Amino acid sequence: MITNKNYVEQYKILNDKNKFYYESNLSIFNMVNEISLFIDYLKPKNILDYGCGNGVLLKLLKHKYPKINIDGYDPAIKEFSVIPNNHYDMIINTDVLEHTYTKKRYCGCSKSYQIFIK
């Protein structure tokens, strides 16, 4: 079984080899449109993209919503490897949970919830 630490290391290697995958993937624009529906409805002031990868979705959302504080966290990407210490009105978690094994999946949700309620 792949442990969380092994997965993070493998993801770092994959990201280094293919940094532009998400920029060339049209599904990222569909995600922006779908997430925008929630943002427009909820009107959050602070958003966390938990498991943001190399930050493509984060950058697109920041461009679309310049007045909203949007932070990212991803343990495999050095730039985003420290969990921001902030209160969040909304947490985005795309393409993350399916990559974790069951025990860690619940821990990740628990961590997200703890960040959300600060």
Is the model's pTM score more than 0.75? no
Quote the tokens at residue 30: 């569909």
Low-confidence residues of the chain: pLDDT under 70: 1-26, 96-118
Instruction: Give the DSSP letter string of 9-45.
Output: HHHHHHHHH-TTTGGG-THHHHHHHHHHHHHHHH--S
Residue 1, pLDDT score? 41
What CATH number does the domain located at 4-117 have? 3.40.50.150
Give the residue extent of every domain in the chain.
4-117
Residue 72: per-residue pLDDT: 94
Q: How many CB atoms lie within 10 A of CB 35?
A: 20
